[in-house]
Amino acid sequence: MKKTQIITAKAPAAVGPYSQAIAAGEFVFASGQIPLGADGVLIAGGVSEQTDQCLKNAAEVLQAAGLNLRDAVKTTVFMTDLGQFAAMNEAYGKHFKAPYPARSTVQVVALPKGACVEVEVVALRP
C-alpha cells in the first residue's frame, strides 16, 4: 500500500520528525493537532478555545487531502485536565454532526508547547 505525505501551510508545521498527515489507501491519518496558529504560536484561551483551534487545524490538514471533518471516522483527544471535559466536549461538538466519529479521550501529564488539549483524526475517503 502506497503512503503519501499530506502537507499544508494553513495549519502549523510539525514540531518534530513526523508528518501533518499520511494518506494510506482509503484512510488519512492526521497527526495530533495542538492549538497553534499557522504561525506556530499557542493561541490564547482555555480548553474551549484550544479545542476549537485544534479542530480548525485538523480540518485544514484534512482539506489538504481533499477531505473534511465529516470524513472523520475516529478521533483521539488528549487533555491535561479531564476536569475540563465538559468544556472540551461542547467545543468539540460544534465541529461534528451525526453520525459522530468514534472517539477516545485520555488525560496526559503534559502536551507540547504547554497546550491543554490535542486532537488527532483518522478519516476515510468517501
The CATH T-level fold of domain 3-124 is 60s Ribosomal Protein L30; Chain: A; (3.30.1330)
121 in Cβ contact with 62 (< 8 Å): yes
What residue spans define the domains of the chain?
A: 3-124
Mean pLDDT across the stretch 42-70? Answer: 97
pTM, full prediction = 0.96
The tens digit of pLDDT for each residue in 57-114 reads 999 999 999 999 999 999 999 999 999 999 999 999 999 999 999 999 999 999 999 9
Show the CA angle centred on residue 100, arms to residues 99 and 101, nearest 5°.
120
